[in-house]
Amino acid sequence: MITKDEVNHIASIAKLKIKDDEISLFTEKFDQVMSFVQKIKEVDTENVEPTYKINDEDGFLKENGESQTLTREEVLRNTVDTQYGYFKILKVVE
């Protein structure tokens, strides 16, 4: 059984906040989902390797070279606030 405290803890790691009036229902549904996935515990996976990627080809690296990807203007176009050509956020160091 997952508790409200655990839900709040996970939410804080995920940078989410579950409102006080939603926490009960959220915990209930979350618990349903998490107990549903517990079933895989019964599978015997002794000596089985995990599959992180499915393709049998090795990945590849790009050639290291100079190329223009995006302009500064393009990079900044979707942010809320800019200053001197940078993203503007809160001052985090005094």
Partner 1 sequence: MDIAKLKAWEMREKLLKKEISSTEILKSHLEVIDSVEMDINAFITVDRENAMETAKLVDEKIARGESLGVLAGLPIGLKDNIMTKDLRTTCASKMLENFIPPFDATVVRNIRREDGIILGKTNLDEFAMGGSTETSYFGNTKNPKNLEVVPGGSSGGSAAAVAANEVAISLGSDTGGSVRQPASYCGIVGIKPTYGMVSRYGVMPMSNSLDQVGQFGRDVRDAYLMLKGVSGFDPLDGTSSHKSGVNFELENASLKGLKIALPIEYRDLRVTGDEKIREVFDNTVKLFEREGAIIQYVSLPHLKYALETYYIISTAEVSTNLSRLDGIRYGYRTENYETLDELYTMSRTEAFGEEAKRRIMMGTYALSAGYQDEHYKKALKVRTLIKNDYDKTFEDHDVILSLTSPILPFPFDSIINSPVDMYKADLYTVPVNLAGLCAMSLPMGEVDGLPVGMQITGNRFQESKIIRAGYAFEKVVK
Chain contacts with partner 1 (rule: CB under 8 A): 7, 10-18, 26, 29-30, 32-34, 36-41, 43, 45, 48-55, 57, 59-60, 62, 70, 74-75, 77-80, 87, 89-90, 92
Question: What is the amino acid identity at position 7?
Answer: V
Kindly state the smallest distance separating residue 64's Cβ from partner 1, in Å: 13
Both tokens of 35, joined, read 């107990």
To 5 degrees, how large is the angle CA 88–CA 89–CA 94? 115
For the chain, state the CA radius of gyration: 23
Shortest gap between Cβ of 89 and partner 1 (angstroms)?
6
Tell me if 76 sits within 8 A of 87, measured CB to CB.
Answer: yes
List, in sequence order, every residue forming a beta bridge with 83; answer none if it has no partner.
86
Minimum gap (Å) between residue 23 Cβ and partner 1: 12
